[in-house]
Chains A and B, each alone.
Chain A
Amino acid sequence: MLPYSWLIPALPLLSFVLIVFFLIRSNKASSYTSIAAILGSLALSVAVLAEVLGNPQPQEFAINWIFMESFKLPMVMYIDPLTAVMVVMVSLVASLIQIYSLGYMHGDPRFARYYAYMSLFAFSMLGLVVAGSFFTMFIFWELVGLTSYLLIGFWFEKKIASDAGKKAFITTKIGDFGFLIGLLVMFFAAGTLNMAEIFDKVHHHEIALGTITAAGLLMFCGAIGKSAQFPLHVWLPDAMEGPTPVSALIHAATMVAAGVYLTARLMPLVITSHTMAMVVAIIGAFTALMAASIGLVQNDIKRVLAYSTISQLGYMILALGMGGYTAGTFHLMTHACFKALLFLGAGSVIHAVHTNDIQEMGGLGRKMKTTAATFFIASFSIAGIFPLSGFWSKDEIFAVAWEGGHYILLVVAVLAAFMTAFYMFRLCFMVFTGKPRDQEKYDHARESPKNMTIPLVILAFLSITVGWVGIPWLKHGYGSFVFFEHPHHVAPNYILMVISTIVALSGIYLAYLMYYKGSISPVKMAERFKRIYRVLFNKYYFDELYMATIIEPTYRLTEKLYKFDLGVIDWLVNFFGDFTVFLSWIQERFDTYVVDGAVNGLGYTIRAFGGGLRRIQTGQLQNYAFVIFLGLVVFILLRFL
């Protein structure tokens, strides 16, 4: 089975090609083809996982792609337990979201195109996951960036959406550029981009430590961009302008996790270079805290979730930076389930009330029972309430910090967990409980159709249970399957469990007091901590900062370059263009007067000699034949002279 794993990404690619070339006019055919393809990938992924569970030895498959004698670039596929888990996760979430989209995107004028993009995304993301060389990975890395851009700006009539697409593309590109430079550094240091070979060399100390740190950090830049880590996190909240299922799939569950996946793949470098490990951990911790604090005060339901995503990704990066390979990737799995569920639930709410603003919602739980129930489950899971998935994975991260003695990082993580519990239940209470704040919207609200609620229920089930594969007192759980170098068994740490539960419950309780019971007034709180509130509400002024320090100066520079272009470069280009035209004009003249003239002249001469020879109707034909013979004669003369 494993050698055929390439079929997993290939099926969605096939569906993309079919839709674009043949089915684009038929909504039904396009969506069904796309869903069939991703379900096929899911089936294959499960088969791969089953096989890898039996034999967890990593396997590599390569085909030649570029074949110059001194320089070979193969396309490599690498299957190990992490890959197997990732392909199942990606294709499962993608399948559910594509089914959900049937209802959500119903009636959209570009429905078929939406499914074409979804297939392209599935192809790119699955390709990224099975890639076995950084070069192959980079190709797919850029492809997911492209599809993300296409889908954020899917409703490009809205200027704000097309701007968000551009912002996402450009911001992540900054990170990608670092990734690319890191690749080149690595290639010159190790002579290969094959992951296994590089790690072998790192392991045997064949690469200098400085080079490892430099290349590793540069490649980590790619992860910073893609996983929206500080300081490149600004694109993700804006990306919420895309259709909500897209936010769920790409900007919560899968693509943004690609950065975490890359960091996990870079684990040998992180282990070797302490500088790199420290940078990774600090960026993760800072992002987790910062994004969670911004999430406390936002009013757009999707943006709160976006900041929550950034914060949770920060958690994973933090875990990886502390060497917690198992913990980081485990949280990636569980997060994919509950965050996809939260987004789809938000989508269901938005579908019902046609607004993103939680200040216009309220009391919706009475009308949308399934959505509310599943949303609450996901919130309990992300807040880390026993025994839901989020509890186990978050606990694992705390345990890694505890074990490694990173107490400051542990405190930061716990603080972020408190904020997470608070903002999630702020959402829950404001959206689903209490009195409707906008009666008209409330009256029109209705539960979403079956093809939207069924994926919710499935994801809710997963949000509860997926974490159970990693329960610490399991002998053969997640940690004995996906691990780095040797299986990671943390003994159940009951103190930490109790602490994290208390923290989560107190966050929920505070939200309950403020937004359900109303015994603490949120307005007064905002009043009291006015300054902090304003900084948080304005997202630490990152956008304004970038505007003033990067974007404005770039504009000014472009203005100057444009003038230079116009004055100097354009002039040169025009000059060469005109010159070429002039040359061809000469050539034409030459053809008409010199060649034709010579031919005609010779023709006349010959005719004069030939005397009575008559003209055949087309003088031209004669000319043609003459040129042939002329060429013949000249060639022969050339060879003898």
Chain B
Amino acid sequence: MNLTLIIPEIFLFLWALLILFVDFFTAEEKKHRLGPLSLVGIVITVVLVVFSGQGQAFGEMFSADYYSLSFAIIFLGSAFLAICTSIDFARERIKHQGEYYALILLSTVGMMFLAASRELLSMYVSLELTTISLFVLSAYLKTDLKSSEAGLKYMILGAASSAILLYGISLLYGITGTTVLKGIQAELVGSAFPGPLLVISLVFIIAGFSFKLAAVPFHMWAPDVYEGAPTPITAYLSVASKGAGLAAMVRVFFGSLLPVTSEWIPLFMALATMTMVLGNIVAIRQSNIKRMLAYSSIAQVGYILVALSAASELATTSMILYLLVYMFANIGAFAVVIAFYNHSGTDEICEYAGLSRRSPFLAISLVIFFLSLVGIPPLAGFVGKYLLFLAAIQKGYYWLVGVAVLTSVISLFYYMNVVRQMYFRKPTKNDPVKVSWSLRLALVLSLIGVIAVGVYPDPFVSLISKAASVFVY
């Protein structure tokens, strides 16, 4: 029993409680200061995560290794950026700011446990801690019908998918007699023929996780929830929640189900193909930028699934790197959307006309984030996609990479549509869009991330490849 390993999680949990406590004694007009206070907590947690040791705790349940470390940094990073983008938004439009920040921190705690968990039940419990906080956050704009609807839909469908996941887990337990991943692997290596029960259990587990990833056809909730939820929460959902799903899914599949790859790799490929095709094509028709980004983020998961179909060390490396890159680009893009929304109260793409003349900094930032999402060098997205596709090519899945490249080209279409609006249309208004310090911080950090990883990826790749080596392929 080694409690020191979970000090970062405990600290972040206590910090969330501290926020609630301080909230109690803070006057309404000063509550926006809880945002920076949460940021401080996150920074301290990052330091704790980096310097806390590695090892195992609670038997086989909890493992602090490079894998959980890199995911923890991604989760904390996206929470940090999401809170940065929240501060003005929350001050203007949200009641009960204390709970808002505390819930973000709590869901982050859940994600950190999730990435470190090596046992199915503790994984499930962490997943619930994460998603239940997110249900509440999605419905946070209580007076807004769309937000309430989003929360409700998310909760009901989330509960259904959790049930499916749990069912899959119980089947797997029934087959192998254990919920510890290592034990499951040991059982599966011995068994000669994977029975139909195993197939059903795998399908159920994949379906349960795919809901978290918003992979087609389990994506139906995503556009509605992304549109309805408060925009900073959308940004957080689209990165951290997906990241959590991926962390758990990869831990389960690469950590215990590698002996039966032939059973689940075709499913991954099918998911990847459908997700890329549908996400990218439907995104073209969107007129609301949040909905467009929702479909784009669905498509992005498709690219990650391409790499995961390869089930190799490079697949894991590229998945984590891409998640990091995607975090900067996507939250950065959302930060621009939030800045614009705070100023003008609309998310319609046609309202972005002439933004390059009103706010050149916002416009060029959005262009950079979009180009990174498409994967244009020398931005980070290029390195990320290159490694993702390389993983698939190494296994000879040329057609899958073909689809990925083709749909990437299609994605240019809808990203560039926004760019066209910003640069080649006349503005309807002329007032510059104001950007507060916290949003500017989020933007600059994201820009630095997108450029730094793109220009000099080597240190990031070599760090992350340590995380990928926790599995035996």
Contact = CB atoms under 8 A, between A and B. Distances in A.
Interface stretch (A240-248, A342-350, A432-440, A620-628): A620-628
Given A588-B285, A627-B217, A627-B220, A632 B203 contact: yes
B199 A636 contact: yes
Contact of A628 (B149, B153, B157): B157
A64 B461 CA distance: 11
A577 B457 CA distance: 34
Nearest to A599: B220
B129 to A, nearest CB: 22
Interface in A586-641: 587-588, 591, 618, 620-621, 623-625, 627-628, 630-632, 635-636, 638-640
B206 interface: yes
Given A588-B285, A639-B199, A631 B218 contact: yes
15 contacts: A584-B284, A585-B285, A588-B285, A591-B282, A618-B153, A621-B152, A623-B220, A628-B161, A631-B207, A631-B217, A632-B164, A638-B266, A638-B267, A639-B203, A639-B267
Contacts of B285: 584-585, 588
A574 B221 CA distance: 34
Contacts of B461: 67
A65 B284 contact: no
Nearest to A586: B281
B389 to A, nearest CB: 13
Given A618-B149, A624-B157, A625-B160, 4 more contacts: A588-B282, A618-B152, A631-B218, A636-B199
A635 B161 contact: no
Contact of A624 (B207, B221, B413): B221
A635 B205 CA distance: 12
Given A64-B458, A639-B199, A624 B153 contact: yes
A63 interface: yes
Interface in A564-583: 577, 580-581, 583
Given A627-B220, A631-B218, A21 B444 contact: yes
A632 B281 contact: no
A581 B204 CA distance: 35
A61 B367 CA distance: 35
B128 interface: no
B263 A639 contact: yes
Nearest to B458: A64
Contacts of B413: 577, 580
Q: Which of B217, B285, B444, B461 has the most CB of A within 10 A?
A: B217
Nearest to A622: B156
A621 B156 contact: yes
B200 interface: yes
B282 A628 contact: no
The interface residues of chain B, by DSSP majority, are classed as helix
A620 B281 CA distance: 21
B473 interface: no
Interface residues of A, number: 30
B156 A640 contact: no
A21 B456 CA distance: 21
Contact of B281 (A64, A67, A584, A635): A584
A639 to B, nearest CB: 5
Given A632-B164, A638-B270, A640-B199, A625 B444 contact: no
B94 interface: no
A623 B156 CA distance: 12
A628 B216 CA distance: 9
B156 A636 contact: no
Contacts of A623: 220
Q: Which of B152, B199, B220 has the most CB of A within 10 A?
A: B220
A9 to B, nearest CB: 14
A580 B285 CA distance: 11
Q: Which 8 A-B pairs have the closest CB atoms?
A: A624-B220, A631-B217, A64-B458, A584-B284, A584-B281, A635-B203, A639-B199, A587-B281
A156 B218 CA distance: 54
B194 to A, nearest CB: 11
Contacts of B456: 65
A625 B156 contact: yes
B211 interface: yes
Interface in B445-473: 456-458, 461
Nearest to B221: A624
A545 B104 CA distance: 69
Interface string B169-204: 000000000000000000000000000100110011
B197 to A, nearest CB: 11
Contact of B157 (A583, A587, A621, A635): A621
A411 B116 CA distance: 79
A618 B161 CA distance: 18
Nearest to A21: B444
Contacts of A21: 444
A636 B200 contact: yes
Q: Which of A583, A624, A627 has the most CB of B within 10 A?
A: A624
Contacts of A585: 285
Contacts of B284: 580-581, 584
A588 B286 CA distance: 11
Interface in A50-72: 63-65, 67
A67 B207 CA distance: 36
B393 interface: no
Contacts of B203: 632, 635-636, 639
A632 B224 CA distance: 21
Contact of B196 (A587, A635, A640): A640
Nearest to A630: B217
B281 A583 contact: yes
A624 B220 CA distance: 5
Interface in B261-301: 263, 266-267, 270, 278, 281-282, 284-285
Given A580-B413, A640-B196, A628 B160 contact: yes
Contacts of B211: 628
B454 to A, nearest CB: 11
B18 interface: no
B410 A580 contact: yes
A584 B282 contact: yes
A580 B413 CA distance: 9
Contacts of A64: 458
B108 to A, nearest CB: 27
Interface in B139-158: 149, 152-153, 156-157
A588 B160 CA distance: 27
Given A580-B284, A639-B199, A628 B410 contact: no
B267 A65 contact: no
A623 B153 CA distance: 11
Contacts of B153: 618, 620-621, 624
A635 B202 CA distance: 10
B53 to A, nearest CB: 29
Contacts of B457: 67
Nearest to A628: B218
A39 to B, nearest CB: 25
A585 B281 CA distance: 9
A628 B220 contact: yes
Contacts of A640: 196, 199
Nearest to B414: A584
Contacts of A591: 282
Given A64-B458, A67-B458, A624-B153, A632 B207 contact: yes
Contacts of A577: 413
A581 B270 CA distance: 24
B458 A65 contact: yes
Contacts of B161: 628
